[in-house]
């Protein structure tokens, strides 16, 4: 079997400036990255000025990172499914602005959590998400940014822990050709998707393909889980230090289809820990010391 070109990186801080991120990613042994488009716990965001955007794009090409391989993660306050009008309106405004930031940076993929219905029921929540997405996309018809629905842990009224829920959102949205999916291994494990054998990994992939179509999967968040299968806790662990473990990741990351999708770490810690996790993943795959 020929080894695919692995695309692997981590969530990176933008505190030194967007333009530092591409080279910082290569310094930790990665060849792609994820960033926030603004402080993730604030409602405030602004477009980068033109000079910064140009510098960022030139650093991207210097680091040989393509726009399709990098990911932007939406702010945590956004909840398109909220029953509260003010929260929903602010969520629509911020998500629409985030798409414009992604476009200004020359990037393509923005991942977000579908939202929580906060006890008002799945159907109502999905209906509000879809209504919100229609507005968000209608404000972004002049760019080609894609929105990626992320599978989440089943807790607190969260929508999108099961593939069927993501499918329903995509089916109901008229902009469905701009809706894709990020698969998070910790959130999936939290929701009962097991990686403990080759067969279970194949079952997961077949399940995804059957419900969503494999072409919808654009990104993978590679995180171990601090809690056992099906716990619904959403607590990420370092690679090999959680219940998925090195064995689980060996089965998952050796899969041919999985190797064709960019992998992004959201494990605890900063650049130093992510550099170690990248090395651990390379070792799991027998790519000891290889430069990606
Ligand atoms: Zn996420
Ligand atoms: Zn994630």
Q: Compute, in angstroms, the gap from residue 73 CA to the centroid of ligand 2.
A: 9
Distance between Cα 150 and ligand 2 center (Å): 7
User: What is the per-residue DSSP string for the chain?
Assistant: -PPP---EEEE---TT-GGGHHHHHHHTT-SEEEE-SS-TT-S---PPPHHHHHHHHHHHHHTT--TTT-EEE--TT--TT-SSHHHHHHHHHHHHHHHHHHHHTT--EEEE--EE-TTS-HHHHHHHHHHHHHHHHHTTTTS-PEEEEEP--S-TTEE-SSHHHHHHHHHH-TTGGGEEEEEEHHHHHHTT---SSHHHHHHHHHHHHHHH-GGGEEEEEE-EESS-TT-----EE-TTSSSSHHHHHHHHHT-TTGGGS-EEE--SS-HHHHHHHHHHHHHHTT-TT---
Identify the nearest ligand to the CA of 184 by its number. Answer: 2
Distance in Å, CA 271 to ligand 2 centroid: 17
pLDDT digits (tens, 9 = 90+) for 73-87: 999 999 999 999 999
Confidence of residue 128 (pLDDT cuts 50, 70, 90): very high
Tell me the CA–centroid distance for residue 135 and ligand 2, in Å.
24
pLDDT tier for residue 3 given thresholds of 50, 70 and 90 = low
Whether the predicted pLDDT of 55 surpasses 80: yes
Q: Of the bound ligands, which one is closest to the alpha carbon of residue 74?
A: 1
**Tens digit of pLDDT for each residue in 95-126?**
999 999 999 999 999 999 999 999 999 999 99
Q: How far is the CA of 17 from the centre of ligand 2 (A)?
A: 22
| Confidence (pLDDT) at 194 | 94
Residue 266 CA: which ligand is closest? 2
pLDDT band at residue 197, thresholds of 50, 70 and 90?
Answer: very high
234 CA from centroid of ligand 2 (Å): 9
Task: Kindly give the distance from the C-alpha atom of residue 71 to the centroid of ligand 2, in angstroms, as a whole number.
Answer: 11
Segment 61-78 shows an average pLDDT of: 98
Residue 279 vs residue 289, higher pLDDT: 279
Q: Which ligand sits closest to the CA of 236?
A: 2
Residue 292: per-residue pLDDT: 82
Q: Which ligand is nearest to the CA of 158?
A: 1
Distance (Å) from CA 212 to ligand 2 centroid: 18
Structural domains present in the chain: 8-284 (3.20.20.150)
For residue 64, give the nearest of 145, 148, 147, 7 by alpha carbon. Answer: 7
Least confident of 1-5, 87-91, 161-165: 1-5
Between the CA of 178 and the centroid of ligand 1 the distance, in Å, is 18
pLDDT, the chain, mean: 96
pLDDT tier at 1, thresholds 50, 70, 90: very low
pLDDT 10s digits, 257-277: 999 999 999 999 999 999 999
Q: Are 155 and 112 in contact (CB under 8 A)?
A: no
Q: How far does residue 65's CA lie from ligand 1's centre (Å)?
A: 21
CA distances to 170, 253, 275, 288 from 112, rounded to whole Å, are 14, 23, 25, 33
Model confidence, pTM: 0.97
Tell me how far the alpha carbon of residue 158 lies from the centroid of ligand 2, in angstroms: 14
Of 129, 132, 131, give the one whose Cα is nearest residue 116: 129
Residue 141 has pLDDT above 50, yes or no: yes
- On whether the CB atoms of residues 223 and 269 are closer than 8 A, the answer is no
Over residues 203-255, the pLDDT tens digits come to 999 999 999 999 999 999 999 999 999 999 999 999 999 999 999 999 999 99
What is the CA(134)–ligand 2 centre distance, in A?
Answer: 24
- Nearest ligand to the CA of 113 is 1
- Residue 11's beta-bridge partner residues? 34
Instruction: Give, as residue ranges, everything with CB less than 5 Å from ion ligand 2.
Output: 184, 221, 266
Q: How many CA atoms lie within 13 A of 67 on its CB side?
A: 16
Would the pLDDT of 2 be above 70? no
């Amino acid at each position: 079997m020929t080894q695919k070109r692995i695309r692997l990186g981590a969530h990176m801080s933008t505190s030194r400036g967007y333009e530092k991120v591409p080279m910082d990613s290569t310094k930790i042994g990665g060849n792609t990255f994820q960033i926030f488009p603004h402080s993730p716990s604030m409602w405030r965001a602004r477009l980068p000025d033109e000079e910064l955007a140009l510098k960022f794009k030139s650093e991207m090409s210097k680091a040989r990172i393509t726009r399709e391989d990098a990911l932007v993660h939406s702010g945590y306050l956004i909840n398109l499914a909220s029953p509260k009008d003010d929260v929903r309106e602010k969520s629509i405004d911020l998500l629409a602005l985030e798409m414009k930031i992604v476009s200004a940076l020359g990037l393509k993929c923005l991942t977000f959590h579908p939202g929580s219905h906060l006890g008002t029921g799945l159907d109502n929540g999905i209906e509000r998400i879809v209504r919100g997405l229609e507005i968000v996309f209608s404000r972004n018809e002049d760019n080609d940014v894609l929105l990626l629905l992320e599978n989440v842990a089943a807790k607190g009224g969260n929508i999108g822990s099961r593939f069927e829920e993501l499918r329903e959102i995509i089916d109901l949205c008229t902009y469905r050709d701009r809706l894709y999916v990020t698969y998070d291994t910790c959130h999936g494990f939290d929701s009962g998707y097991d990686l403990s054998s080759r067969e279970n990994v194949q079952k997961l992939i077949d399940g995804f393909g059957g419900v969503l179509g494999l072409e919808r999967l654009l990104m993978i968040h590679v995180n171990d889980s601090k809690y056992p299968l099906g716990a619904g806790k959403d607590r990420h662990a370092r690679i090999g230090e959680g219940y998925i473990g090195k064995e689980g990741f060996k089965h998952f990351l050796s899969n041919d289809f999985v190797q064709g999708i960019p992998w992004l770490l959201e494990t605890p810690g900063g650049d130093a820990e992510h550099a170690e996790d990248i090395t651990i993943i390379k070792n799991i795959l027998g790519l000891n010391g290889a430069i990606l």
